[in-house]
């Protein structure tokens, strides 16, 4: 089973280490305890939405950038091919309608 908290933790740790910052520095900037941040990075604790936002702020990385990397990692683990959902001009009308109204339904499923 792909666990979201593990992927989030890996991405947050990568971002911090790329910046050459310590757990202490980032936890202080995010106003979370060092132990909490460490557990989040190791995928041992679910980050609440508020604290995830705070950690992204402390890293000066938009949450959507973190989530995009998380999404790509999850897709790789799942073996999901993330193709753009845009509807080509040549798609028949009934199929295009289905795609436009139900982008999530069956998307990425062979």
Q: Which residues of this protein are in contact with its own copies, per CB under 8 A?
A: 1-6, 11, 14-15, 18-19, 46, 48-50, 52-53, 59-72, 74-75, 78, 80, 82, 101-109
Decide: 66 and 12 in contact? Cβ < 8 Å: yes
Q: Between residues 8 and 90, which has the closer beta carbon with respect to its own copies?
A: 8
Question: CA angle, 22 as apex, 74 and 27 as ends, to 5°?
Answer: 75
Minimum distance from CB of 7 to its own copies (Å)?
9
Q: Between residues 11 and 37, which has the closer beta carbon with respect to its own copies?
A: 11
Matching residue, tokens 């973190």: 66
Minimum distance from CB of 41 to its own copies (Å)?
14
d(CA 2, CA 64): 20
């Amino acid at each position: 089973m792909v666990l979201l908290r593990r992927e989030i933790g890996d991405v947050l740790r990568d971002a911090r280490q790329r910046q050459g910052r310590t757990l202490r520095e980032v936890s202080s900037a995010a106003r979370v305890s060092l132990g909490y941040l460490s557990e989040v990075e190791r995928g041992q604790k679910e980050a609440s939405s508020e604290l995830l936002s705070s950690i992204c702020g402390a890293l000066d990385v938009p949450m959507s950038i973190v989530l995009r990397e998380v999404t790509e990692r999850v897709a790789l683990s799942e073996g999901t091919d993330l193709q753009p959902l845009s509807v080509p001009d040549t798609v028949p009308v009934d199929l295009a309608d289905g795609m436009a109204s139900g982008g999530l339904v069956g998307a990425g499923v062979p």
